[in-house]
Every structure is written in structure tokens, then in C-alpha cells.
Amino acid sequence: MIKELELLSNPKSRVAEAVKTIRTNLEFSAVDEIQKKIMITSTSPAEGKSFVTASLAQSYAMSGKKVLIIDCDMRRGRQYEIFGVSNNRGLSNILISDLEGARIETIKTKLKNVFLLPGGTIPPNPSELLESQKMTEVIHMLEDEYDVLLFDCPPVIGLSDALIVTKYVDSTVIVATYKVTPKELLKKTVKALEGVNAKISGVIFNKVPTASNGYYNRYYDSYYSG
């Protein structure tokens, strides 16, 4: 899938322009606030949140930022597949190790200025690891090294993982599938996030049809109201 991401290097392509619009809207939504740590989640599986995350990382990197993707989906994370790297060691392995005096090693991807911390070995207790003090320490260790941290999180419905991660981030983005995601499910997702005081910057509707065919059609961003 790295080839699909490389398509974004053409700033005139429809997809690159759409992702740039999303990035720009996220930047403007912050106004005077710092928005360095952004969480991307979804209502349910298979809505394209991981690829949206990777695409946003590429767009931020093209604007001159040094970007790190942290795959917080330690159950079914896909970032290592998207970038074609190993998942033998990642976030889960770091969270069960001794952090004192350690330096967290991330993977330099084939995309310029885009780095990755994969989910790592699937643990029996992902939620507990995400809620641990070590998770706080890991983020503190990483945020000084990168301009933008993108947290790829599991879907909200049915899991507590994403709700836990909201306390570490400045902004939350929801990915939904155009004309597929039920409105009630989206509303439940928003309500759950609001219940933990998450700052929701917007909803990205994925797979919006266009006149031309492609691996993905385009990404469209809008702001949820209701």
C-alpha cells in the first residue's frame, strides 16, 4: 500500500488535494490552541481509519512537519502492513519494558519525514496498557522529537481503547464510510467521545464516489453537528 501513499506526492491529484483540505481544516480548527497530538478513530472496523491516518501523515510531512504515527490498535493494527515493516516490536513491547534510561526506537518509513511506532506483539490487556503510567511516559518521550503525533486507534463502539487515548491527545477525528455507516452508530460514537470530554475536530467521510475509479475514490471532511 506504500505505492498508494506515494500517489499523494503529486500535489495536483484529487486525493492529495482532498487530504490536504482535511489537514488544513484540522490546523484551522485549532486557531490559538496547540494541536500536535491527533487521534484518528472510527465507529466500527473496516472504515479506512488506518489508511486515512497514513495519508494525513504524508500530507503533514509534505508541509514540512516531522510526523510520527503511533499505532494504538494493539488488537488489529494495520500500520505495519501499510508501510511494509515488521510488527515484531512496537508499542505493546515498549509498554511492558523498563523505560528508565531507554530511547524509544521508531521506524523511518519510505515516506520522507514519516515515522512509525507499530502496535507490536498482540497483548492480552491492550486497554490496561493504554491506561498505564508508562503510556504517559512514552508520549512525553516522543512528543519532543516530532512536530505531529497521529494516534491510530481502534473503533469506539465495543471497545474502551480509543476512549482511553483521548486523555493524551489535543484533538479527535472520526472516520466514517459514506452512505454505509449508520447515522445512529455515528451519533453513538460521538456521544461516547463527548462522555469522556474528547475534543472532536470533525468527521471524515471516506469512500465518497467520484467520476473516476481508483484504489480509493477520495476523502471528504466535514464537521459534525447535532
Per-domain residue ranges for the chain?
Answer: 36-190
Q: Which three cell numbers stand for residue 53?
A: 491516518
Mean pLDDT (10-residue bins), the chain, 226 residues? 61 75 80 83 93 92 95 95 94 90 88 96 96 96 95 96 97 93 95 96 84 43 39
Angstrom distance (rounded) from CA 215 to CA 57: 18
The gap from C-alpha 95 to its chain's centroid, in whole angstroms, comes to 19
Q: Which element (helix H / strand E) includes 205?
A: strand 200-206
Q: What is the reported pLDDT for 209?
A: 75
The cell for 153 is 486507534
DSSP 55-111: HHHHHHHHTT--EEEEE--TTT--HHHHHT---SSSHHHHHTS--TT-----EE-SS
Cell of 64: 514540512
- Looking at domain 36-190, what is its CATH homologous superfamily? P-loop containing nucleotide triphosphate hydrolases (3.40.50.300)
Cα–Cα distance measured from residue 135 to residue 103, given in angstroms and rounded to the nearest whole number: 14
What number of CA atoms fall less than 13 Å from residue 100's CA on the CB side?
1
Q: Which helix (H) or strand (E) holds 108?
A: strand 107-108
In contact, 20 and 28? CB cutoff 8 Å: no
* Nearest in space to 117 (alpha carbons), one of 139, 134, 144, 132: 139
